Amino acid sequence: MTADVMDAPKAAPADGLPDRPRFWAMAAILTAVGMATLDTAIANTALPTIAADLNATAADSVWVVNAYQLAMAAAVLPLASLGDLLGQKRVYLAGLILFAISSLACGLAPTLTLLELARVVQGLGAAALMSVNIALIRHIYPARIMGRGFGRNALAVAISFAVGPTVASSILSVATWHWLFLVNVPLCLLSLGLGIVTLPSIPPLAHRFDLVAAALTAGLFSLLVLGMGEAAHAASWPQLLAELVGAALCGVLLLRRQRGHPAPMLAVDLFRNPVFTLSAVTSVCTFVAQGLAFVSLPFLFQSVMGRSAVETGLLITPWSVVVAIMAPIAGKLSDRYPPGILGGVGLAMLALGMALTALMPANPSGLDIAWRLGVCGAGFGFFQSPNLKAIMSSAPLHRSGGASGIVASARLLGQSAGAALTAACFGLLANHDLTYGAVLALWLGAAAAGAASVASFLRQTVKPHPSV
């Protein structure tokens, strides 16, 4: 460690950290966020290998992914609230420790059941990281360049998402699937060491943690995500209805319990600010569009166009690569120009890209596909950083944890809804060629991105709320 790192301030300064401590604090955060993002992608890629090694069916092995996502959905908002009460740094470091231990458990799991249980714990660790990382970045960066911090966070997520299949394939080519999880352990320890020294300690709020509200919040979001996931796998209507009714009941009880609370776990108080509300709507609609694209395109490329799994991964890569290029650029621009305009332009570009993809010729070349998905990636990357800045700057500083939890929840719900809508498109057109279902999903994605663009531009018409 350098002297600059060791001398980093222990308490959150009024307007961010100095340059050197800021660099190392962001290194700690981006390493952990990258791992949490990467673990979804690599598990998807390795499912067939894991199922074969553990003598499991494909349907049973899917829970290696589902367990992680459900744990994240259930725990993001409770852990964001816990970050407000205990301090985001403590929750973040505890999440890193949990992620490291559970990654070790995943790598040593001898059976599918134990692997799935370890993935639940790993999802809780990831939820701790994702629930407070945006709040920490808000305290790490000065307000005048906050957008750059969000841009770098978006860059780390995009790169991790893009290289996930490649990393998984590379590891599987030289080692067993266990090492997909074991490689997390040294990275967690590195991030933990940096985080202990450099992350700012943010004064906690003076409220008690509401265990009943946490249980209701977990029920609301886990049942919503589970219901949307089951819809994507054509579950029975009684089962889906029970899950959605259960989610609605948890939501009603949660709102009643936390009515009048100064810092509710589900941050409904922040939605009184129209800028925050429009930013959250923008986020959900955009991730719906992303979910529609990323679930439908593999079917279109493999089942209709006859491309291999490897080719499909390469064809989708331009989206993530261009996001990685655009995210830091958009982050810098958001420090100078209104996020509503930047996000609206980016999302209009995303809608155009998805429409162009839906209009592809029957037998497109790789270049025909790549430039269209590049347009989508440019639009998505141009939206992400400005929208994060708009959400966080429209919430009071002491409610950064609640706003950070909404950011993570909007992403999870949007992606899950996109996957469910894609399944509905294929189900509605089950008697037709798969092309029709995939194209319908892409058009729905274009519509969702268009709606997000309108919501983004509307932020320019409402009175902004001064951040505290």
pTM to 2 decimals?
0.80
CATH topology of domain 270-468: Growth Hormone; Chain: A; (1.20.1250)
* DSSP states along 105-120: HHHH--SHHHHHHHHH
The pairs formed by 61-65 with CB atoms below 8 angstroms and a separation of 24 or more are 61/112, 63/116, 63/119, 64/112, 64/115, 64/116, 64/119, 65/40
What are the tens digits of pLDDT across the range 71-115? 988 999 999 888 888 888 999 999 999 999 999 999 999 999 999
C-alpha distances in Å from residue 289, one per residue of 67, 83, 219, 294? 24, 30, 25, 9
- Is the model's pLDDT at 467 over the cut of 70? no
Q: What is the pLDDT of residue 357?
A: 93
Residue 154 burial by CB count (10 A; 0-12/13-18/19+): exposed, middle or buried? buried
Confidence of residue 235 (pLDDT cuts 50, 70, 90): low
Burial of residue 464 (number of CB atoms within 10 Å: 0-12, 13-18, 19+): middle
> Quick one: tokens of 54?
């553990």
Please give the Cα distance from 225 to 413 (Å, whole number).
7
Region 393-401: mean pLDDT is: 81
More confident of the two residues 48 and 241: 241
Buried b (16+ CB within 10 A) or exposed e, 156-165: bbbbbbbbbb
CATH topology agreement for domains 1-210+261-265 and 270-468: yes
Q: Which of 9-18, 270-279, 330-339 has the lowest mean pLDDT?
A: 9-18
Write the DSSP assignment of 308-333 as a string of letters. -HHHHHHHHHHHHHHHHHHHHHHHHH
Q: What is the pLDDT of residues 301-341, one digit of tens each?
A: 877 888 776 677 778 888 888 888 888 888 889 888 888 99
At residue 468, does pLDDT exceed 50? no
Chain mean position to CA 16: 24
| DSSP class of 14 | T
CATH 3.10.580.10, applies to 1-210+261-265: no
Instruction: Using alpha carbons, select from 44, 59, 115 the residue that is nearest to residue 230.
Output: 59
Q: Region 153-165: what's the mean pLDDT? A: 76
Domain ranges of the chain: 1-210+261-265, 270-468
